[in-house]
Amino acid sequence: MAIFVNEHTKVIVQGLTGGQGKFHGLRNRAYGTKVVAGVTPGKGGQDVEGIPVFDSVADAVKATGADASFVAVPPKAAPAAILEAAAAGVGFVVCITEGIPAQDEARVYATLKRDYPRTRLLGPNCPGIISPGRCNIGITAGEIAHEPTPGGKNVGIVSRSGTLTYQALFELKQQGIGVTTCVGIGGDPVPGTSFVDCLAEFQKDPETSAILMIGEIGGSAEEEAAEFIKANVTKPMSAYIAGVTAPAGKKMGHAGAIVSGGKGTAQGKMDALRAAGVKVGANPTEAGQLMAQIIASLG
């Protein structure tokens, strides 16, 4: 199995007629993802290399039965695009857009929780999600992901860092380890989907034997994940936390990656995860090697 998306997921691309939407939407389709429609207001009736374009998400869902959306629009338009998808009944929304103001993210998150509890948002500012061999929504290169081994020991990946999402996938591919689903949750201050959300799903998934988690400095998401792992996760885990040498008070890349008031440090997160029984690597490669050891020990 896989979590959140699989070979049956039908995807619309909001912004398919734009440069990024077209490039990544067509790549997703080439991977085998069922990209059934695009949405660009005012361009309904057109098509992009055989993919029909609609004026609204509601029209696209009515015509295609789509249940997932890939939001690839500029920061100013992204909040409205996410809420439009939710209002149309789309159950899973992936937003890769970077640079959405934190207050807009918070407003969208609160609106989804209040008015559209059946819609899950992944992102924003994330690489997306890939269930190797089944579905790829976002900007992850499909060729770096190893498909799960039927009846074998496979790994679920959840990461805050986009680039390290790719490295985690490739580290496992080099080890010949299959991946059920890899979820990039994004590093912005108000992510739609958290570590805990993904850990809970991986824990329930019978095809996922172990979990690899990539965190980074800033916020308390990793500490919250550690508490959840302690209480609820029985599957073995390895992890890596980025930002060991980051200076306090300085923003490092992601909007959420800032250490303040002595909280959110890489060391504190590593200590919390180790206390929860997670094997923590000193770098991404070591985290992958630790996972290879875990898989080997499972027989």
Helices 57-64 and 78-87: crossing angle in degrees, nearest 10, is: 40
Q: Which amino acid is at 156?
A: G
DSSP string, 62-104: HHH---EEEE---TTTHHHHHHHHHHTT-SEEEE------HHH
Answer whether 221's CB lies under 8 Å from 270's CB.
Answer: no
The answer to whether 101 and 125 are in contact (CB under 8 A) is no
Contacts of 15 (CB under 8 A, 6+ apart): 21, 38, 39, 40, 71, 72, 73, 77, 81
| 138 within 8 A of 24, measured Cβ to Cβ | yes
As a whole number of angstroms, the distance between CA 197 and CA 277 comes to 19
Of these residues, 8, 24, 146, 254, which one is catalytic? 254
Burial of 77 (0-12, 13-18, 19+ CB in 10 A): middle
- Residue in the structure block whose two tokens are 């790549």: 27
Catalytic residue flag (residue 8): no
Question: What are the residue ranges of helices labelled H in the chain?
Answer: 19-31, 57-64, 78-87, 102-115, 162-174, 195-204, 221-232, 266-275, 284-298
The amino acid present at 90, given as its one-letter code, is V
* Residues that are catalytic: 254
